[in-house]
Amino acid sequence: MRKKDIILIILGIVILILLAFFVSLAIREVTNFDSNKEKEIEEKIEIDGKKIEFKTYRVDQSFFINVPSEFVMLDEEMLKQEYDYNSRPELVFRSEDNAEKIFISTTEEAMTDAGLEAYLNNKIAESTNMQLLDSGIYTKHAKTFAKIVVVDSTTNMYYNIRYFTLNDKLVSVEFNTASTNYTKWEKVIEKIMDSLCFNEDDITK
């Protein structure tokens, strides 16, 4: 056998080995991708064995929020019947058993992104008889948010609230439920608050 033929055979073997190696990598990558997709599918949100679906709402033509589909939005007449004028939220969504509520309020209080931290600190200082579970300032979608999560030891209610600004006015989004009930709703609350955005391209499902 000529030296040239031997070299060609060796090159052919090397090429086959390399092809087999890259094919194995491709198969491994697809397998990992499929495994991750299966994991995401398995991590659905359930409350008492019931899968929670979400519906996107646009508020005041200004921002978007995902709310559990089973929650009912109160109409203007119901808001008037259930809440005093001075404390009436702009929007209220509530669960079927009325145990969980989402309040959305756009106030006339002047506020800037830079002023949110001081506002949050004042809220924390004023939260007497409250157990502070979490608080902080963060930025998402190029927007500043203030977060406060408390349990009222007097009423045994849990409050998870976000504050942000629109047109230099303060906006609040609040989820509340009984303090004995909130742990099973934590993933739902996280999805609701994380869904807050200001452009259609940023809407999450």
- Model pLDDT for residues 8-58, shown as the tens digit of each residue: 566 667 666 655 544 443 333 333 333 343 333 345 789 888 999 999 999
* Per-residue pLDDT reduced to its tens digit, 50-94: 999 999 999 988 899 999 999 999 998 999 888 887 778 889 999
* Per-residue pLDDT reduced to its tens digit, 136-163: 999 999 999 999 999 999 999 999 999 9
Q: Which one, of 78, 86, 137, lies nearest residue 108 by Cα? A: 86
Q: Which residues contact 11 (CB under 8 A, 6 or more apart)?
A: none
Are 110 and 168 within 8 A, CB to CB? yes
pTM: 0.77
Q: Exposed (0-12), middle (13-18) or buried (19+): which is 7, by Cβ within 10 Å?
A: exposed
